Structure 1
Amino acid sequence: MRKSLLFGTLCLFISILGCADKRKYHDTIKSDIASDNSEKVREILLFQNKLNEEFQNPETSPLPDRYRKDFDGLDFFKPDTSFRVIASMERTADAIPFMMPTTTDRLSEEVVYGVVNFTLKGQKYSLEVYQNLELMQTTEYEDYLFLPFLDNTNGEETYAGGRYLDLAIPEGNSIILDFNKAYNPYCVYNKKYSCPIVPKRNFLNTKIMAGVKSFKQNSNK
């Protein structure tokens, strides 16, 4: 599943439907919405299952053995499709690479690929999306985009340092952001990892009640 040994995992879909005549129209739309949401929820649950499988696998898990042996799953918010939005991608022309600090002395060379603009629960937001200069030279990660963010759940329901989303370069000018797929930096689970620190510019002044919650070592959740 992994584009996340350095940062993270996975991407997305969407469908919107309509119909024709009066009373039947309402019944059909109601059915379509239920079907569409069910498909999105299934996708979120698949992401959760794959992430749990990765954490259980000793070859891919960031967990030290002492935590992994009793691991019974990460703690997630319940799937909520209202945290799945379509954003417009504003490409950043001629962006200058910069060194992003990490949780260790290592610096990660990044470039601002673009800015995503979106509306969430009636409020407008924008976040920077980054591309790692080293990874973009490889075939496996050449289309990989990194979206770290902070929000008002940090330090309470979620990790104080923020969370990550994995994206891929879109074909057009729009991209789906599914915050149900937000995950913790690996350094939350194991100090041997060096994780990029979320830029303060990527703060969302709202509670993103979706994705992975904070990790409590004494209970594995």
Structure 2
Amino acid sequence: MRLLSTLCISLLVMSAMAQNPFADELARHREKYKKDLLASAGGPVKEESDLSFVHFYPPDSTYRVVATVALTPKAEPFEMPTYNGKTRTHVSYALLSFVLNGKKQQLTLYRNLNIIRLPEYRDYLFLPFKDATSEKETYGGGRYMDLRKGDIKNGHVTLDFNKAYNPYCAYEEGYPCPIPPKNNVLSVPVKAGEKAYGKEH
């Protein structure tokens, strides 16, 4: 009887996963993210046991939204401050407009003018932001999302806040993590993506 019950539960779980490719893909993404975090040379996570303190919100497809993209080709480069006192040269690439939690929102998408000199990051786009969960459920210094130019199609781009991640500064101080500009502070809570690191540092 117990074996039959276990088999039934296993079948239900497998069936749920098969019917929810969004959650399945996100689970694979997060596993890769944690492996990369541990393997990163000079990164803040040194021990595999520390990965148990890396937490995420449950998958939520309502935080996967389509934004309208307005390019900003005449934007001037500027120095974006970081949490260790240094700056990083960025330039605005586009203004993203979308609806989240029933409210209209805007974020500015940037290019890091140093990173894009590297061939593998030539089309890299950077989206730093804070929201109403910052300093409460998520890292107070904000979170990041990575995009590529090719993600923009016909004037639109999909933003999956389930893939929002913490900067290195969330794990350990001293890294040059860009501070999200004031225009990239959302008025709504983004209960998706990575939560605050669970280990004191």
Q: Confirm or deny a common fold (TM above 0.5).
A: yes
| CA deviation string 1:80-104 (max 9, x = no partner) | 0000001111000211000000012
Hey, what's the Cα distance between the residues in 1 that align with 2:130 and 2:51? 27
How far did 1:72 drift? 3.8
Corresponding residue to 2:109 among 129, 147, 154: 129
Show the counterpart of 2:5: none
Show the counterpart of 1:189: 171
| Aligned sequence identity (%) | 38
Contact 2:90 2:112 (8 Å CA) reproduced:
yes
How far did 1:158 drift? 0.4
Name the SS of the counterpart of 2:116 in structure 1: helix
Residues 35 and 196 of structure 1: CA distance in aligned 2, closer, same or farther (over 3 Å): same
| CA deviation string 1:32-71 (max 9, x = no partner) | xx999722222211121111112333647422x4xx2522
Show the counterpart of 1:163: 143
Show structure 1 runs of 5+ residues with no match. 1-33
Residues 58 and 123 of structure 1: CA distance in aligned 2, closer, same or farther (over 3 Å): closer
Q: How does 1:1-221 map to 2 (within 5 A)?
A: 38-57=20-39, 59=41, 61-63=43-45, 65=46, 68-73=47-52, 74-169=54-149, 170-218=152-200
Contact 2:17 2:24 (8 Å CA) reproduced:
no
Number of matched pairs = 183
CA RMSD of aligned residues (A): 2.1
Q: 4+ residue runs of structure 1 moved beyond 4 angstroms?
A: 34-37
Show structure 2 runs of 5+ residues with no match. 1-15
Whose helix proportion is higher, 1 or 2?
2
Hey, what's the Cα distance between the residues in 2 that align with 1:147 and 1:159? 15
What TM-score, normalized by structure 2, do the two folds share? 0.84
Hey, what's the Cα distance between the residues in 2 that align with 1:57 and 1:40? 26
Hey, what's the Cα distance between the residues in 2 that align with 1:40 and 1:166? 18
Contact 1:147 1:164 (8 Å CA) reproduced:
yes
Residues 118 and 35 of structure 1: CA distance in aligned 2, closer, same or farther (over 3 Å): farther
Give the AA of the match of 1:139: P
